[in-house]
């Protein structure tokens, strides 16, 4: 088996990572329950809680998101916000998608 040197890219391409970043880019912040509503574009089903938990840990480890205390109507809860690094990652992903579309579309 070939070991990849694309550690960060592999992490970002894991299902749910870019979906979470895109959600946070659009909504500024989110709670765990918000991410459970995101549908997998490939399968059409929602991501499992364990997948969401793993992706949040990965994204926080890479500095793309940060954990924050949020206030709801009833109590304080743990939430997440996208960082400047996370915004740059999402922008780069959209740019890369556009470049790939041009390459694939030109064949």
Flag whether the pTM goes above 0.85. no
Residue 25 phi/psi, 5-degree rounding, is -65, -40
28 is a domain residue: yes
Q: Which residue has the tokens 């991410």?
A: 35
Question: pLDDT (tens digit, 9 = 90+) per residue, 29-55?
Answer: 999 999 999 998 889 999 999 999 999
Domain total in the chain: 1
Question: pLDDT (tens digit, 9 = 90+) per residue, 64-104?
Answer: 999 999 877 788 888 999 999 999 999 999 898 888 888 99
Tokens coding 53: 């938990």
Task: Give Cα 24 to chain centroid, integer Å.
Answer: 8
Tokens coding 103: 């390459």
**Ordered alpha helix ranges (H), the chain:** 7-13, 17-27, 32-35, 49-61, 84-105
14 is a domain residue: yes
88 is a domain residue: yes
Nearest by Cα to 36 from 22, 23, 47: 47
The band of 107, judged by pLDDT with boundaries at 50, 70 and 90, is: low
């Amino acid at each position: 088996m070939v070991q990849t040197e694309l550690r960060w890219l592999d992490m970002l391409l894991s299902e749910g990572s870019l979906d979470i970043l895109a959600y946070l880019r659009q909504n500024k912040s989110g709670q765990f329950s918000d991410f459970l509503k995101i549908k997998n574009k490939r399968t059409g089903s929602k991501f499992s809680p364990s997948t969401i938990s793993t992706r949040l840990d990965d994204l926080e480890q890479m500095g793309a998101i940060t954990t924050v205390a949020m206030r709801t109507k009833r109590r304080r809860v743990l939430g997440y916000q996208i960082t400047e690094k996370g915004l740059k990652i999402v922008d780069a992903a959209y740019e890369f998608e556009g470049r790939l579309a041009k390459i694939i579309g030109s064949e």
